[in-house]
Structure 1
């Protein structure tokens, strides 16, 4: 699970628990073995198992979704990336002038998880994992990547206001 380079936001409370704890519990419930980021990449690669990157800023990602993504990566042999639809209006800019609106149906926002199948883990060098979008772009140049729409509860938070919204969306 990734909490580095995220400031103090992973330690913000949602439903009375830290985001990082909620994300960790989801991995545990999904049966994912967690490793420390300091673990040598060769140790990870030697397991020949899918490797799951789960962002602490997507704390309410359901364990069942994590399990599904791991199964897809394992069965299809491709990198699987949880994504959310873009709901903001996005405009083209050329020469400092705001232009046409981009069709949102063609856009996705990287969420969590990113699942690397065993053979991909063995073939690749360790990448920086702080920026999920940049990591996905790097992976797309060398591997087949499948995007899977994540449930709304798996949304990424970027502020305490986002945490409050996600808390309201996931209250029981």
Structure 2
């Protein structure tokens, strides 16, 4: 019998931060009439995660003894059910859980200024949202983690067990207004 992820959150509350630092003005653009940061905060709330201000001292989060969910404002349409599943997985396995998307762009090797071989995309992923830190990892960190998602995951992988979980298409990261229009079309209805 599989445990309902919402049951895990009922027994183990989680704290959540919407990460919007170092992302320019894009987190305040609109998706379906709401700012990306608002949509991301809504997703955390719908998932049953308690939203905390990014200015909250890290020691306060450590003292809470709860998992911490980092939700990137540039992944505003991440479904609440996916967030819940990631939190449940992090709690059950006591590991960092990272939402990722497959890389679909062609990636080339560049050496000495020349474009070379095509990299096999099968082993590549793009960090999406969320990144869930179990309480043991929150306590082991000296302070707030990096706001750069790639640096964050790379640093965490050097110190802790990390599981990458394929996020649904709605959880894709946007990097421009054009990406935002694609996301809006993808999540319309």
Smaller-chain TM-score bracket: over 0.9
Give the alignment of 1:152-163 within 5 angstroms: 152-163=169-180
Task: Name the SS for the 1:157 alignment partner.
Answer: coil
State the 4+ residue runs in structure 1 displaced beyond 4 angstroms. Answer: none
| Number of aligned residue pairs | 172
Partner of 2:97: 80
CA distance in 2, matches of 1:129, 1:19: 20
2:4 is the alignment partner of 1:4: no
Stretch of structure 1 that moved more, 57-66 or 119-128: 119-128
2:127 is the alignment partner of 1:110: yes
Q: CA deviation at 1:133?
A: 0.6
Match of 1:126 among 143, 151, 164: 143
Q: CA deviation at 1:156?
A: 0.4
Q: Cα RMSD between the aligned structures? A: 0.9
Match of 1:93 among 96, 99, 110: 110
Match of 2:36 among 7, 10, 19: 19
2:152 is the alignment partner of 1:135: yes
Partner of 2:47: 30
User: So what's the TM-score if we normalise by structure 2?
Assistant: 0.89
Q: Which runs of 5+ in 2 are unaligned?
A: 1-17
Q: CA deviation at 1:128?
A: 4.0
Superposed CA deviations along residues 66-91 of structure 1, whole A, max 9, x for unmatched, are 00000000000000000000000001
